[in-house]
Amino acid sequence: MKDTKKLIIPLIGNLEEMDFRQLDLAMENKAAKGFINEAGWQKKFPYTPVCSFAIARSRTHIAILFHNRGLDLRASVSQDNGKSWEDSCCEFFVSDPYDGTYYNFELTCIGFLRAGKGADRNNRKLIGQNKLDEVIRYTSLPHKNMDIEGNIYSWTAGMAIPLSLIGVDPENPPIRLSGNFYKCADKTEHQHFLSWNKIKSDKPDFHRPEYFGEMILK
């Protein structure tokens, strides 16, 4: 596809063992980076906050940090597999390299995570709590509920996902994956729907694997 973006994801040893500050510094120095700035539905949803991401992998994990600056800050979800997309939220969707499905990882600004697997947006199977607990979470915000408007807020949230959780054998990983990165906040005053790789649909729809970009593992 002509509009497909590409990332070369570097290897950073033992990133899953780093604390937030160490990981942020390592990712700033060595990770692949991109902007979540494709506003495919801007006529109806004109607001576009600033959101960038950094991504890298270790031998066992793939890590993503999202850096955000914009209006409103909402964190109402207080457990995993809740309605993450209604809060200030960043998302990572990635293909299973073998069975034609994809995974969605939807992370709120305070670190709660919704994740599932399926071939499309329908009939997705949520990932159980025991597996979600294996995903390391990071956030610059206090771990409490909030819903505030009328100012500019900057925050970082991220996760380190075991490669085995997305169908990848850490001892024999594929060279290529496909995926996309998203920013949304459905229940905020300044509602928005942004993607890294452009989506061509009539209304906001992140569950469109035909518009995933390419990720090459180093």
Residue 157 lies in a domain: yes
CB of 18 closer than 8 Å to CB of 136: no
CB of 188 closer than 8 Å to CB of 88: yes
Q: Residue range 78-98: average pLDDT?
A: 97
Look up the CATH number of the domain holding residue 136: 2.60.40.1190
Give the domain extent around 127. 6-217
Residue 1 lies in a domain: no
- Give residue-wise pLDDT tens across range 180-210: 999 999 999 999 999 999 999 999 999 999 9
> What is the model's pLDDT at position 123?
87
Average pLDDT across the chain, whole number? 96
- Give residue-wise pLDDT tens across range 162-173: 999 999 999 988
pTM of the model: 0.97
Q: Residue range 94-103: average pLDDT?
A: 95
Q: Residue range 41-54: average pLDDT?
A: 97
Q: Helix (H, G, I), strand (E, B), or coil: what is residue 62?
A: strand
Q: Which two tokens stand for residue 9?
A: 């994801």
Residue 18 lies in a domain: yes
User: What is the Cα–Cα distance from 23 to 19, expressed in whole angstroms?
Assistant: 6
Residue 93 lies in a domain: yes
Residue 156 lies in a domain: yes
- Give residue-wise pLDDT tens across range 202-211: 999 999 999 9
% of the chain surpassing 70 pLDDT: 99
How many distinct structural domains can be found in the chain? 1
How far the first Cα of the chain sits from its last, in Å, is 22
> Phi/psi class of residue 111: alpha, beta or left (left: φ > 0; alpha: ψ in -120 to 50)?
left
> What is the model's pLDDT at position 2?
56
